[in-house]
Amino acid sequence: MKIGLYFITSSEFSRTHEELAEAVLRVGVRFIQFREKNMSARQMFSVAKNLRKLTWEYSATLIVNDRVDLALAVEADGVHLGQDDLPFEVVKDIFDGIVGVSTHSVDEAKKAERYIDYISAGPVFRTTTKKNAKEPIGLEGLRRIVSSVKKPVVAIGGINKFNIEDVLKTGVKGVAVISAIANSQNPEKSAKELLEIVKRYLDD
């Protein structure tokens, strides 16, 4: 599983999930998560179906945040779970796809490792995108998680074009961003800039 630049869609800025996904797919992003906190299940199903179609067109991976039912309903490639979502060991039994989990410490990462496919670590830096985000773990906290587990680690939280190289130097296999792209004047250009940096560190 190749992760690289991992874009998480959001409708909290000025564009739709579909507009953002299409912009990043056009410039080469191939790992996308659908994350939505305010829509009804029916609305989410409709958007997720559109994202599934788009990601299939570009041979990209689609992950659904929080909702295993929705991931199954649209044939997503994976689901992302936080510490307050359904337990990953339960989901791994009922969902035959990629399962990623959010972690904030070495202890959480080690507990999840054998059940899941990638570990997300963060927030690395301060972020206002996630309501009630925990205290940042910093680059040192991220390094500790990377060196404690064998599964691929994705970094998240406050990552932008100015700090992404420091993040990549910790040995992560993926970098997840929302606002650096979704809140940009030009999401396509911002995704391209980030992708070029990521490729210098992570291309085979």
Ligand X SMILES: Cc1ncc(COP(=O)(O)OP(=O)(O)O)c(N)n1
35 among annotated binding-site residues:
yes
Answer yes or no: are the C-beta atoms of 91 and 79 closer than 8 Å: yes
* C-alpha 126, offset from chain centre: 17
Q: Which of 152, 157, 174, 187 binds ligand TZP (CB under 6 A)?
A: 157
169 among annotated binding-site residues:
no
Which residue type is seen at 66?
D
- Quote the least distance from Cβ 114 to ligand X, whole Å: 19
Answer yes or no: are the C-beta atoms of 15 and 187 closer than 8 Å: yes
Q: Does 166 bind Mg ion (CB under 5 A)?
A: no
- Quote the least distance from Cβ 204 to ligand TZP, whole Å: 25
- Quote the least distance from Cβ 24 to ligand TZP, whole Å: 13
Residues of this chain, 56-85, that bind Mg ion according to CB under 5 A: 66, 82, 85
Specify the DSSP element, H or E, that contains 117. Answer: none
| CA-based nearest residue to 82, from 72, 74, 91, 69 | 91
158 among annotated binding-site residues:
yes
Q: Hunting for tokens 């670590």 — which residue is that? A: 121
Residues whose CB falls within 8 Å of the CB of residue 132, separated by 6 or more in sequence, listed in order:
none
Question: 69 vs 85, which CB is nearer to ligand TZP?
Answer: 85
Q: Which of 176, 177, 182, 194 binds ligand X (CB under 6 A)?
A: 176
- By the criterion CB under 5 A, which residues form the site for Mg ion? 66, 82, 85
